[in-house]
Homo-oligomer: A and B are copies of this chain.
Amino acid sequence: VGNALWQKQPKANAELFALTYGAMVGELIRDLEKTDKIQDELDRMGHSMGIRCVEEFLAKAGVDNVNSSNNASFADTADLMKMALKMFLGVSAIDYTSSPSDGTVNIAAAATAGNTTTPNSSNQYSIFLPENPLAIFVELPEDRLDLEYSQLLCGLIRGMLEMLQFDVSCQMVQSQLKGDDINEIRVSLQQVLQQGAGEEYQEE
C-alpha cells in the first residue's frame, strides 16, 4: 500500500528538496545557534506538517477517519507511520536487528510485515530507515555532531500521531549521519489523548 501511495504522489526533485532542507537547517543554525533550539524548531515544523498532512494521508491510505481510528491500539500505528514515511519520503522502512553475539546485521524486507523483528512493546516501537533522503548531501561539521539534522521527521510523526489521539515522544536514536549503520526513529507513547483533544491543534 505504501508503495502504491508513493507512486501516486505528485513528485519533486529529491536533490532540490534535500538542498532546500539543508538551506533551512543552515538558516536555523545562523538564527538560533544553539543545537537544542535548532532541533526544537525542526521538530515544531515537522509537527505542524504532520498535523496538516495526516488526514489526507489517511484518506489516501484508505484508513477510516481520525475519529474512528481512536480505538486502534498504539502498536498498530507502527505500520501506519511506516506507510506514511514511504508516502512522504519514498523510503521503505525495514525490519532490523543487529545480533549482539557476532555483530552481524540481519535485515529483512519490510514486505514481510506481520513477522516483524522490530523491538516492540505495547508502548514503544522503532522505525528503521535504510536511507535518509533529507541527508543525502550532508556531513555534520565537527561542532554540530550533536545536532539531530532530521528532527523534522520526528516532529512529523509526532504531529500525525497526535491527531490520532496519541501523545508520543519521538527521537532519532540511531542515525547514519552520526556513523550508525541505520536510521532508527523511536516512538514512545506518553498518553492517550481524550477524544477531541487533538482537534484544537487543527487550528494551528
Contacts and interface: CB of A to CB of B under 8 A. Distances in A.
Interface of A: 6, 9-21, 23-24, 27-28, 30-31, 41, 45, 48-49, 52-53, 87-90, 133, 152
A14 B8 CA distance: 11
A76 B75 CA distance: 58
A23 B11 contact: no
A23 B156 CA distance: 13
Nearest to A44: B23
Q: How many copies of this kind of chain does the complex include?
A: 2
Residue among A14, A17, A30, A41 with max Cβ neighbours from chain B (10 Å): A17
B16 A49 contact: yes
Contacts of A152: 20
Contact of A27 (B6, B12, B27, B53): B27
Contacts of A21: 20
Contact of A12 (B13, B24, B48): B13
26 contacts: A6-B13, A9-B13, A10-B13, A11-B12, A11-B13, A11-B90, A12-B12, A12-B14, A12-B16, A12-B17, A12-B89, A13-B87, A13-B90, A15-B53, A16-B53, A16-B89, A19-B53, A20-B24, A23-B24, A23-B48, A24-B24, A27-B31, A27-B41, A27-B45, A30-B31, A31-B31
